[in-house]
Every structure is written in C-alpha cells, then in structure tokens.
Amino acid sequence: MPDTNRAMKIIAEIVRQAGGQLTGWTRLYKAFYFAHLYYAETAPGYLSDWPIVKMPHGPGIDRGAELIAELKQGGIISTDHVQEGPFQSVRFQLSRTDLPGEPLSDEATDAIHQAVQLVQEKTAGDLSEMTHEFSRSWNSAQQGEELNIYIDLIPEDEYDARDKSLESMKAAFESAWEN
C-alpha cells in the first residue's frame, strides 16, 4: 500500500515551495512528477512510492483529488478558484505545515524546490507539451496506467541499446527453447 502521508507531505511541500500557493492541477501534478525525477538523480531510493499515472495531459498523481481532499479535511491545504484569462482555475493554498510523521529530508526538499521552479516558469500547456515530448513512460502507457517514470531519465541512445540487447536475448531464449 503506498504511503499516503508521504505523498501528502510532498504535495504540501510543493505548495510551500511555491510561496504558499500554487495555481492549477497541471502544475501540481507535474511538480510531483518532476520532483520524483530530480530526487532520483541526486539521492538513493525513491522520493515516494505513490503511483504516478498516465493522464491526458501528461503524468499525474494517482487519486490526486483524494489526497487534496484529505489535506483539506486536515486543514493543511485550502483551495479556491481564481481567474486565468477567461477561465477559472483552482488555487492550492498552504494553511499549515505540521503533518505527522517523519519530516522530508534535505534531498527531498531540494528536489521539490527544483520541480517547483520548473513548473512556475512554464504554462500548463508548456508543461504538458514537455512531458508529451520527453516522457518515454507516458508515451508507452495506456490511459490510467501506472508509469515507470524512472525510464524517463535514461538517455535515448542508452535506452535504445538496452532495448536492442533485450530483444536479442529474447530471440536467443526463444531459439534455445525451440531446439
């Protein structure tokens, strides 16, 4: 069972790192995804075990609305609607930071900080386009499927070489079983 409290701490830290408020589901979801990638590049293990799934506009937090509802119920985050052009968008606001359990490590908060900086510099459309172009895991998954986001960190040439190597091993095993 994924660690709900850890996922909620990451979401709260994303909003905190954004200055106490963050606008838009896309920014929140992409910050969560990017934070996991940044963490994987600099620290051992995983930022969290919470599933990241394929959504229409890129990688997203599995059951993200449920996590936000729990954070709202606990008085950690509040939401309201703000105008973005002619449209309404949700704004997440941090109310408190005192979530129970282990605090996030310095490596975790650094990874989240990098992710927040990235999402605040781009529009939601730019973020979706970026993940559509570069996320190998998103491009190879079916809608709603959990993503193996860590394959997104492997350079294209290395990934292709591994893929070819696996194909040749598969052919060798199939040939051996036929004889």
| Confidence band, pLDDT 50/70/90 cuts, at residue 63 | very high
Residue ranges of domains in the chain: 4-153
Check if the beta carbon of residue 35 is closer than 8 Å to that of residue 109: no
| Beta strand residue intervals within the chain, DSSP E | 21-23, 52-55, 58-61, 77-84, 87-94
Q: Span 116-124, mean pLDDT?
A: 94
What's the pLDDT score for residue 160?
Answer: 64
**pLDDT tens digit sequence for 142-161:** 999 999 999 999 888 776 66
What's the pLDDT score for residue 169?
Answer: 67
| Confidence band, pLDDT 50/70/90 cuts, at residue 31 | very high
Distance CA(155)–CA(152), nearest Å, equals 8
Q: Span 84-91, mean pLDDT?
A: 90
